[in-house]
Structure 1
Amino acid sequence: MMALSICLALLAAIGNAGASVLQRRAAADIGPGRPQARSSAVGALLRQRVWMWGAALLGLSGICQALALATGPLAVVQPVMSSELLFTLVLGGVVFRRRPDRRTQLAFAAMAVGLAGFLALAAPTGGRSTAPAAEWLWTGVCVAATVGLLIAVSVRLPSAPRAAVVGTATAIGFALTAALMKDALGRLPDGVGALLSTWQPYAAVVLGLGSFVLLQVALRAGSLAASQPALTLGDALLSVVLGVVLFEEHVQLGIRAVFEVFALGLLFWGCLQLARSPLVTEGGEGGAEKW
Structure 2
Amino acid sequence: MARADLAVLCALGAALFIAIGDVIHQRQAHEVTDEPVGHLQLFTRLLRDRQWWLGSAVAAVGFALQAAALGLGSVLLVQALLVTSLLFALPINARLTRRPMTGWQWTWAALLAASVAVIVTVGNPTEGDARGSTDAWMGVIVVLGPALLLCVIGAGIARGQVSAVLLALVSGALWGVFAVLTKGVVDRLGDGIWALLTLPELYVWAAVAVAGTAWQQASFRAGSLTASLPTMTVAEPVVASALGVVVLGETLRPGEAGWLTLVAAVAVMVVSTVALARGEAASVGHAGTPH
Give the equivalent residue in structure 2 for 1:268. Answer: 270
Q: Structure 1's 122 and 64: CA in aligned 2 closer, same or farther, altered over 3 A?
A: same
Give the equivalent residue in structure 2 for 1:90. Answer: 91
Q: Structure 1's 21 and 224: CA in aligned 2 closer, same or farther, altered over 3 A?
A: closer
In terms of mean alpha carbon deviation, does 82-91 or 150-159 score higher? 150-159
2:82 counterpart of 1:72: no
1:54-100 Cα deviation digits (max 9, x unpaired): 44322211211111111111111122112212101122334555542
User: Which of residues 232, 257, 260 in structure 1 aligns to 2:259?
Assistant: 257
Aligned AA (2:7): S
1:208-247 Cα deviation digits (max 9, x unpaired): 2112222234344555555444322221112111111122
Aligned 1:191-210 pairs, distance under 5 A: 191-210=192-211
Q: Structure 1's 70 and 255: CA in aligned 2 closer, same or farther, altered over 3 A?
A: same
1:149-191 Cα deviation digits (max 9, x unpaired): 4434555556554443333232221111111111111122222
Give the equivalent residue in structure 2 for 1:58. Answer: 59
Alpha-carbon distance in 2 for matches of 1:130, 1:67: 16
Q: Per-residue deviation at 1:263?
A: 1.0
**% of aligned pairs identical?**
24
SS of the residue corresponding to residue 127 of structure 2 reads coil
Alpha-carbon distance in 2 for matches of 1:183, 1:158: 37
Q: Structure 1's 211 and 189: CA in aligned 2 closer, same or farther, altered over 3 A?
A: same
Structure 2 residue ranges without an equivalent (≥5): none
Aligned AA (2:110): A
Q: Per-residue deviation at 1:102?
A: 1.2
Give the equivalent residue in structure 2 for 1:130. Answer: 131
User: Which of residues 13, 16, 20 in structure 1 aligns to 2:15?
Assistant: 13
Alpha-carbon distance in 2 for matches of 1:240, 1:228: 18
1:23-58 Cα deviation digits (max 9, x unpaired): 667899xx786649x99x979952x6xx66544322
Alpha-carbon distance in 1 for matches of 2:98, 2:161: 29
Q: Per-residue deviation at 1:202?
A: 0.9
Q: State the TM-score, normalized to the length of structure 2.
A: 0.80
Give the equivalent residue in structure 2 for 1:118. Answer: 119
Alpha-carbon distance in 2 for matches of 1:283, 1:226: 11
Q: Per-residue deviation at 1:8?
A: 0.8
Runs of 4+ displaced beyond 6 Å: 24-28, 41-44
SS of the residue corresponding to residue 119 of structure 1 reads helix
Residues 160, 221 of structure 1: 8 Å contact kept: yes
Aligned residues: 282
Aligned AA (1:206): A
SS of the residue corresponding to residue 247 of structure 1 reads coil
Alpha-carbon distance in 2 for matches of 1:137, 1:93: 42
Q: State the TM-score, normalized to the length of structure 1.
A: 0.80
Q: Per-residue deviation at 1:15?
A: 0.4
Give the equivalent residue in structure 1 for 2:185. Answer: 184
Alpha-carbon distance in 1 for matches of 2:148, 2:12: 28
SS of the residue corresponding to residue 121 of structure 1 reads helix
SS of the residue corresponding to residue 131 of structure 1 reads coil
SS of the residue corresponding to residue 125 of structure 1 reads coil
Alpha-carbon distance in 2 for matches of 1:157, 1:99: 29
Aligned AA (1:216): Q
Alpha-carbon distance in 2 for matches of 1:222, 1:260: 32
Give the equivalent residue in structure 1 for 2:234. Answer: 233
Aligned AA (1:236): P
Q: Per-residue deviation at 1:143?
A: 2.2
Residues 79, 239 of structure 1: 8 Å contact kept: no
Residues 17, 87 of structure 1: 8 Å contact kept: yes
SS of the residue corresponding to residue 253 of structure 2 reads coil
2:6 counterpart of 1:4: yes
Residues 80, 115 of structure 1: 8 Å contact kept: yes
Residues 160, 222 of structure 1: 8 Å contact kept: yes
SS of the residue corresponding to residue 247 of structure 2 reads helix
